[in-house]
Amino acid sequence: MRLLMAAVLLLAPTLAQAWPWSMDMANQISIKPQESADTQNPGMRPFPKRSVPIPGTTSLVKDREVAEKQSNPVPADEKSIALGGKLFQIYCTPCHGYSGKGDGLVGAKLALTPYNLTADQTKARSDGFIWGYMTFGGAVMPSYANDLSDTERWNVINYVRKVLQNEHSATAVTPQAK
Ligand code: HEC
C-alpha cells in the first residue's frame, strides 16, 4: 500500500506537467509572441478600455442579404485594381488559383471544388453578393472579414471584375509577381 502511495505521489507531478524541466522549452530567453525585447517599450499596445473579445467576424453588416444590397463604393481605378490583385494573390489564389478558375493547390484538396470566378454564374452576381461571400464565407469557403477590411474586399472585387473576368486583360497577378 505504501509503495502504491509513493508511486502515485511520484507520478502526480508528471501528469500535472509540474517537473521543472517540462517547462524548459517554453521558458527560454527567446522573445515570445507579442513580447518586446526593449524593456522600456512593451511590445503590444494595450487593448482600449472596455474592449471585449468577440467570436466570428467583425463586420458591421448584418448578413449576406444586407450585403448583397450594397453597391460597390470603390471606383475600379488602377490603384484599386493593383491593390485588389495583391490581396487576391495572398488570400484567394490558394483555392481559386491565379486564374480565378478554381484551380488553386489548396482548393484541389477540398471536398467542394472552389468555384470558377470567371464563369458566367459569378459574372452575373452583383458586387454586393461577392462582397458578402468574402464577408461571411460559404459552405466550405471561410470568411475573410477579419483578414480584409471592408474597402479591401471591394478592391478585390474590382480586380476580379476588371482583370480575371475580362479575358483581354494582361495584368493578372502571377506566381512570380512580387
Ligand atoms: C480555402 C479555400 C478558399 C479560399 C482561400 C477562397 N475561397 Fe472562394 N470559394 C471556395 C469554395 C470551396 C467555394 C464554393 C462554394 C462554397 O464553399 O460555399 C467558393 C466560392 C466563392 C464564391 C462564390 C461564387 C459564386 O458565383 O457563387 C466567391 C465569390 C468566392 N469564392 C470568392 C473568393 C474570394 C474573393 C477569395 C479571396 C478573398 C476566396 N474566394 C478565397 C473556397 C475558397
- The pLDDT value recorded for residue 178 is 52
DSSP state of 164: I
User: Which one-letter amino acid corresponds to residue 85?
Assistant: G
- The pLDDT value recorded for residue 15 is 61
- The pLDDT value recorded for residue 177 is 53
159 burial type by CB count under 10 A (0-12 exposed, 13-18 middle, 19+ buried): buried
For the record, the C-alpha cell of 102 comes out as 478554381
Is 38 part of a structural domain of the chain?
no
Record the pTM: 0.77
Is 133 part of a structural domain of the chain?
yes
Is 82 part of a structural domain of the chain?
yes
- The residue nearest atom 42 of ligand 1, judged by CA position, is 141
Is 106 part of a structural domain of the chain?
yes
DSSP state of 113: P
For a substitution probing ligand 1, which of 88, 95, 158, 173 has the most ligand atoms within 8 Å of its CB?
95
CATH at residue 147: 1.10.760.10
- The residue nearest atom 43 of ligand 1, judged by CA position, is 141
Determine the distance from the C-alpha atom of residue 81 to the mean position of all C-alpha atoms in its chain, rounded to a whole number: 20
C-beta of 118 in contact with ligand 1 (< 6 A): no
* Per-residue tens of pLDDT for the chain, all 178 residues: 888 887 777 667 656 666 777 777 778 888 887 788 787 877 777 788 998 887 777 788 989 999 999 999 999 999 999 999 999 999 999 999 999 999 999 999 999 999 999 999 999 999 999 999 999 999 999 999 989 999 999 999 999 999 999 977 767 888 865 5
For the record, the C-alpha cell of 26 comes out as 517554453
**What distance in angstroms lies between residue 133's CA and the mean position of ligand 1's atoms?**
7
C-beta of 136 in contact with ligand 1 (< 6 A): no
The whole-angstrom separation of Cα 93 and Cα 138 is 16
**What distance in angstroms lies between residue 116's CA and the mean position of ligand 1's atoms?**
9
- The residue nearest atom 11 of ligand 1, judged by CA position, is 114
Is 159 part of a structural domain of the chain?
yes
C-beta of 114 in contact with ligand 1 (< 6 A): yes
Q: Calculate Rg over the CA atoms of the chain.
A: 24
**What distance in angstroms lies between residue 78's CA and the mean position of ligand 1's atoms?**
24
- The pLDDT value recorded for residue 165 is 95
**What distance in angstroms lies between residue 150's CA and the mean position of ligand 1's atoms?**
17
User: What is the residue range of 100's domain?
Assistant: 64-164
Q: For the chain, how many structural domains are there in total? A: 1
- The pLDDT value recorded for residue 68 is 95
Is 30 part of a structural domain of the chain?
no
Is 103 part of a structural domain of the chain?
yes
